Amino acid sequence: PESMTVQEFAKIMGKTAAEVIKKLMNYGILATINQEIDADTATIIATDFGFEVTVEKEEKEDIWLTEETPDDPETLEPRPPIVTVMGHVDHGKTSLLDAIRQTNVTATEAGGITQHIGAYQVEHHGRKITFIDTPGHEAFTAMRARGAQVTDIAILVVAADDGVMPQTIEAINHAKAAGVPIIVAVNKIDKPNAQPDRVKQQLTEYGLIPEAWGGDTVFVEVSALKKIGIEELLEMILLVSDLKELKANPNKPARGTVIEAQLDKGRGPVATVLVQSGTLNVGDAVVVGLTYGRVRALVDDKGRRVKKATPSMPVEVLGLNDVPSAGDILVVVEDEKTARTLAEKRQNQKREEELRASNKVSLEDLFKHI
């Protein structure tokens, strides 16, 4: 077991609870008879009593489905790159995302009515690129904290008239920590006081050195406002993405990450999910963080109903029982009953953890006192 009460532990040791409490007190811990002690602490105390402890790892059910079965390389197919735009406030992240989206509005989408779903795909020379729209680097960090890696390439936007600023450096650190390659978009080059070379100079301090200066970082000079350099930026994204040989197996049940989610008055809980492997289909039973459901409908970034979503494709998922959180992992399971059982187990586990956290002697406590 992960933990047991002082009383249960004493019984196993063949000691009285008082003896255990006394031992704990030697470590500076005031415990009661009903207090929980974790496995590590129990090991230390048991050793103290002269027992030899062998730890048997309990086979724990992976209710969070954290383990993805590795794919046979032969099943892998190329997938579009997933790109996040980062940078200092007002340097033009939103404008750049808009410019990229607009350059790409096709004739069929007359009027350019694109839905905002937190991520969108564009096509360049017949190849797709996925852009994560809403999450500035905060969401990026939040997702990473949950273990979800949803970015292949980071576009670092730096305004040519302003140069490197605190959030520019933060963004560089986040991308580096995630091991994500950076493409620098030197923005606002239309401005009379633009100094793109100064930006390049400044960034060398952070290890981002242009190819022309002997480094290996791709720099593109752009103007989101005047739509200059956008095609070149897309070209460079595809180039960097080719080097990464991004692949996924589309022929299996889907796994994806929630980019954003909200409760929609008419449609109920709506989650924007970025499919990362497999294919998500209408009718699939899914478990998403603490919630679950059956996919009632899928809506793409152009507001069209679709029957399925393949790797790197963002879709709105309808049919969940509750609103999940950004960064939650969506996993397709056998049937709705399995999904429900898993979600309930997760909810119970979370409740228990919250309870225990407030009344448990842990290894950290032990070391705090030593």
Q: Which of 63, 95, 45 is nearest to 350 (CA)?
A: 63
94 binding Mg ion? (CB under 5 A): yes
Residue 90, marked binder: yes
Can you give the C-alpha Rg of the chain in angstroms? 26
Shortest Cβ 93–Mg ion spacing (Å): 5
Residue 133, marked binder: yes
Per CB under 6 A, residues contacting ligand GDP are: 87, 89-95, 187-188, 190-191, 223-225
Helix (H) or strand (E) holding 123: strand 119-124
156-177: buried (b, 16+ CB within 10 Å) or exposed (e) per residue?
bbbbbbbbbbebbebbbebbee
Nearer to ligand GDP, 223 or 279 (CB): 223
| Residue 81 vs residues 201, 247, 311: alpha-carbon distances, Å | 28, 9, 10
- Find which of Mg ion, ligand GDP, none residue 41 binds, CB within 5 to 8 Å per kind: none
Query: How is residue 198 written in tokens?
Result: 């100064």
Q: Which stretch binds Mg ion (CB under 5 A): 69-77, 80-88, 89-97, 267-275?
A: 89-97
Do residues 313 and 250 touch, judged by C-beta distance below 8 A?
no
Q: Which stretch binds Mg ion (CB under 5 A): 65-73, 90-98, 172-180, 345-353?
A: 90-98
Phi, psi angles (nearest 5°) of residue 47:
-60, -40
Q: Which stretch binds Mg ion (CB under 5 A): 20-28, 87-95, 191-199, 317-325?
A: 87-95
Nearer to ligand GDP, 71 or 90 (CB): 90
Q: Does residue 11 come out as left (phi exceeding 0), alpha (psi in the -120 to 50 range) or beta?
A: alpha
Nearer to Mg ion, 93 or 188 (CB): 93
* In the complex, residue closest to Mg ion by CB: 94
Shortest Cβ 219–ligand GDP spacing (Å): 15
Q: Cite the annotated binding site for GTP by residue number.
A: 87-94, 133-137, 187-190
List contacts with Mg ion (CB under 5 A): 93-94
Q: Cite the annotated binding site by residue number.
A: 87-94, 133-137, 187-190
